[in-house]
Structure 1
Amino acid sequence: MADQRLIRDRLVVDGVGPLTPVAAEQGVGRRTWAYGYGRVTARYTATVEIERTAVSIAGLATDPMHHLPPDVVPYLWPSRYCDSDRFEAPVAREFGHLAGGDKVLAITQFVGRYLRYLPGVSGSTTTASDAYVQRQGVCRDFAHLLIAMVRAADIPARMVGAYALGVSPPDFHAVVEVWLDGAWHVIDPTGMAEPGGIVRIGVGRDATDVAFLTIFGRGELIEQWVRVATVPRN
């Protein structure tokens, strides 16, 4: 990716068989398959150089649908957690007078005001429409609601799993990318992280595609610890 470069990383997993890395969605990041039984411990460290500055999306135009790249088109459609078809009427009613980046900014501001950031109130089955009704949630709920509303405005939007500076309490983070004027633009609807402090882990339609851990079978997460910090340039 042009705006971030992996300098070094290391993954150590105890309690599993051989690790099998595979490419992730859109070639952003990677997945690692592993088979384990009993207690499994994973440790991952990475150093990433970010060359991304905040760019205002105000005034940016939407691309005509017939000019969208093929890999962008799926991010117009409803998905498991981003049920955008439920938001078409309210988005048209509240934001129909706006266009492009101005519309996205207005929706982002709405989501930031409308939802209260509160850990523990949502779960693995909470959708964008659930968060809209409950009016509270965590970063993935903010991201899902923003994505659903932006897609309802016929603008491509996708979810980004990330490490990010400024997240409180420290955790994996979820942000959004919107397609405007021929490029993806990063937005954090929680307002906690700036574009220059976000490291993409993966991208996808919603949390289904960017979950930091997917278990087939039964498992219980005992604990997790995430730390993100700046390091001086050599």
Structure 2
Amino acid sequence: MKIAIETRLEYAVPGPVDVLLQIEAAMIPEQTVLSAHIDLPEFEHFARVPGQADIGDRIWLRLSQPLKVRYRGVVEINRLIADVDTLQRTPPHMLPGETVDYLLASRYCPADLFQDFVNSEFAGTEGGARVAALRDWIAQTLSYEPGSSDAMTTAIDTFHSHKGVCRDYAHLMIALTRASAIPARFASVYGIGVEPQDFHAVAEVFLDGAWHMVDPTRMARSESIAKIGVGRDAADVSFLTSFGAVELQEQSVEVSEV
């Protein structure tokens, strides 16, 4: 499948500020970036640096004027799709080193606090069957409500409130999966079917020696998702992080099938 992406960001900048952007579709084997262009304002400094796990690029900008960004791209998705229910768990002592960070608690995903819950609620399931059960439980239990959470909301908050947006669904999925001793990470993506259209978040779980996408919101399918970057949670892969004051003026994301 080929998907077209257009993203626009506009922020007021009252003074000199450092900004870290990550909004471009990653150039990785599971997807081919057929075309891409990013328009940036005048800047005092520009640099590209690798994203977490070397997936995607981050862009450093130093600027003193309004931040206006336009990104356009066409991406062909060619990742292998597997039925997660059938996949096997790798025992923790056999996990490759690069997956270990995604087995531990992180800022928004305090996995250790969920161990008793997953062991009692999902007893008798393991591996991909456990992941599928967690995904379905989240989809059935949570209510998707824009504006119901903020940048400080953690998986524990979402667990108790039973509501949130894609970021919150992903954080809870990741926390419950890690509590089941299965590596899980946060993926920032563009996805067809996401309503309202915006940056989207899904979980990736490590089963049968590979990473597999899981979207507990059930809005996007793996074959229609373009990956931007990954991290332990949203803090690692924010589309915009500012080191200084900025103020959102306008933001839009459009994703469509070519």
Please indicate the TM-score interval, normalised by the length of the shorter structure.
over 0.9
8 Å Cα contact 2:203-2:213 kept in structure 1: yes
8 Å Cα contact 1:63-1:182 kept in structure 2: yes
- Which residue in the other structure is 1:61 paired with? 88
Quick check: 50-59 or 162-171, which moved more?
50-59
CA RMSD in angstroms, aligned pairs only:
1.1
- The amino acid of 2:177's aligned partner reads V
- Which residue in the other structure is 1:104 paired with? 131
1:117 aligns with 2:178: no
Cα distance in structure 2, aligned partners of 1:107 and 1:221:
35
Same amino acid, percent of matched pairs: 44
**Equivalent of 1:220, from 241, 244, 247?**
247
User: How does the TM-score come out when normalised to structure 2?
Assistant: 0.87
- Which residue in the other structure is 1:144 paired with? 171
1:209 aligns with 2:236: yes
- Which residue in the other structure is 1:30 paired with? 57
8 Å Cα contact 1:95-1:106 kept in structure 2: yes
8 Å Cα contact 2:230-2:237 kept in structure 1: yes
- The amino acid of 1:157's aligned partner reads A
Larger strand fraction of residues: 2
Cα distance in structure 1, aligned partners of 2:88 and 2:128:
6
| 1:17, distance to aligned residue in structure 2 (A) | 2.4
8 Å Cα contact 1:175-1:189 kept in structure 2: yes
| Aligned length, in residue pairs | 231
Cα distance in structure 1, aligned partners of 2:185 and 2:34:
25
Provide Cα deviations, 1:51-76, integer angstroms capped at 9, x if missing partner. Answer: 13542111311112222111111100
Cα distance in structure 1, aligned partners of 2:50 and 2:218:
30
**Equivalent of 2:204, from 166, 171, 177?**
177
Q: Name the SS for the 2:153 alignment partner.
A: coil
| 1:104, distance to aligned residue in structure 2 (A) | 0.4
Q: Where does the alignment leave 5 or more consecutive residues of structure 1 unmatched?
A: none
**Equivalent of 1:127, from 124, 146, 154?**
154
Equivalences for residues 41-60 of structure 1 within 5 A = 41-60=68-87
8 Å Cα contact 1:51-1:196 kept in structure 2: yes
| 1:16, distance to aligned residue in structure 2 (A) | 2.8
1:7 aligns with 2:34: yes
- Which residue in the other structure is 2:103 paired with? 76
Q: Name the SS for the 1:82 alignment partner.
A: coil
Q: Name the SS for the 2:74 alignment partner.
A: strand
Q: Highest relative contact order (Cα 8 Å, sep 6+), 1 or 2? A: 2
Q: Name the SS for the 1:19 alignment partner.
A: strand
Provide Cα deviations, 1:3-29, integer angstroms capped at 9, x if missing partner. Answer: 211122111111432321111011111
1:39 aligns with 2:66: yes
Structure 1 runs, 4 residues or longer, greater than 6 Å off: none
Provide Cα deviations, 1:86-119, integer angstroms capped at 9, x if missing partner. Answer: 1111111011211100000000000111110010
- The amino acid of 1:55's aligned partner reads A
User: How does the TM-score come out when normalised to structure 1?
Assistant: 0.96
- The amino acid of 1:117's aligned partner reads Y
Q: Name the SS for the 1:55 alignment partner.
A: coil
